């Protein structure tokens, strides 16, 4: 795939910063272990916006979320999402343009690079100490992204507050 124009990358990065989410989804794997799925998503109640992303990027999928009536939502929500293979291509292009989600994207890309080394096709066994170390690092990365994605007031000072 060819790198998209800078205008497309800047537009998509702005959407991700404003309407997006970058992180890991923790999923139970088998009975006792957990697996992490890398996610970059943009959600909106206007499907046309997400279709425009696919039109401009040529990648991703749109998922529809029918929310329960008791949640008092009047509209259906949609989410555009990339898979891990697509993220390995797109994150390096998007990171320079991201502002609010830049750190999460950098951590997610590092986690994806670690994940690529954990595949059984490379002869890596789950009992191998290097496998355990890499898995522990991914858990740390997931925790770091979760911390960055937390809601509520931030403790750090904004640049404007420091100037005044």
What are the residue boundaries of the structural domains of the chain, listed by start? 6-155
pLDDT at position 119 is 66
Q: Among the residues of the chain, which ranges form H helices?
A: 6-19, 47-57, 84-94, 102-117, 129-148, 159-163
b/e map of 36-63 (b: 16 or more CB within 10 Å)? Answer: bebbbbbbbeeeeebeebeeebebbeee
CATH number assigned to the domain with residue range 6-155, chosen from the 4 options 3.10.28.10, 3.20.20.140, 3.90.1300.10, 3.90.950.20? 3.10.28.10
**Higher local confidence (pLDDT), 127 or 113:** 113
Q: Is 9 exposed, middle or buried (0-12, 13-18, 19+ CB in 10 A)?
A: buried
Alpha-carbon distances of 78 from 20, 63, 159, rounded to whole Å: 12, 6, 34
Give 27's DSSP letter: E
Better pLDDT: 65 or 106: 106
Site of tokens 């496998």: 131
Pairing of strands 77-82, 61-65: antiparallel
Question: What is the pLDDT at residue 132?
Answer: 81
Q: What is the pLDDT of residue 115?
A: 83
Q: What's the gap between Cα 106 and its chain centre?
A: 10
């Amino acid at each position: 795939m060819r790198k998209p124009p800078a205008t497309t990358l800047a537009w998509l990065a702005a959407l991700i910063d404003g309407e997006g989410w970058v992180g890991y989804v923790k999923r139970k794997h088998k009975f006792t272990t957990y697996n992490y799925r890398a996610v970059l998503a943009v959600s909106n109640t206007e499907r046309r916006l997400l279709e425009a992303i696919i039109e401009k990027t040529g990648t991703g999928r749109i998922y529809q979320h029918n929310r329960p009536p008791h949640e008092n939502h009047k509209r259906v929500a949609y989410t555009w999402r990339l898979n891990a293979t697509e993220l390995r291509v797109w994150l390096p292009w998007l990171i320079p343009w991201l502002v609010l989600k830049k750190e999460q994207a950098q951590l997610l890309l590092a986690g994806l690079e670690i994940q690529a080394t954990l595949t059984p096709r490379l002869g890596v066994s789950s009992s191998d100490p290097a496998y355990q170390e890499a898995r522990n690092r991914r858990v740390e990365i997931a925790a770091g992204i979760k911390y960055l994605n937390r809601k509520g007031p931030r403790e750090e000072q904004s640049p404007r507050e420091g100037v005044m």
